[in-house]
Amino acid sequence: VQLQASGGGLVQAGGSLRLSCLASGRTSTSNAMAWFRQAPGKEREFVGTISLSSGSTYVSDSVKGRFTISRDDAKNMMYLQMNSLKAEDTAVYYCAADSPRTVFRATVVEIARYDTWGQGTLVTVSS
């Protein structure tokens, strides 16, 4: 599986952006995909995840009520709709996918669960 994230940019606080993640290759072997983010000088943190079997989603408390994860199986796309953006949402956002090798390694909110990562897309929120 290869992942390509896009859609980042500069937005004012309170605005919206939609990130996209295009998956190519043997996507059928993945159980879950996720979004993580890494702000300057900070560790990479979990944002949200979506089950590729059930479509169920889960997002972190820091973005709950503002961010939504969805997918379009026909296009092999995963999306992160970000509303009511805050300055603290500024970060490089990464999409990730797990594999049969990693599905029992960690939970869906942990970095170790995912062994395929996109290149990241920068989101900058101005206050």
**Residue 40 confidence (pLDDT):** 93
pLDDT in tens, 61-96: 999 999 999 999 999 999 999 999 999 999 999 999
- Look at residues 118, 107, 125 and name the one whose alpha carbon lies nearest to residue 22: 118
The one-letter amino acid code at 68 reads: T
Q: Cα(108)–Cα(57) distance, rounded to whole angstroms?
A: 10
pLDDT in tens, 9-38: 999 999 999 999 999 987 778 999 999 999
pLDDT in tens, 44-64: 999 999 999 999 999 999 999
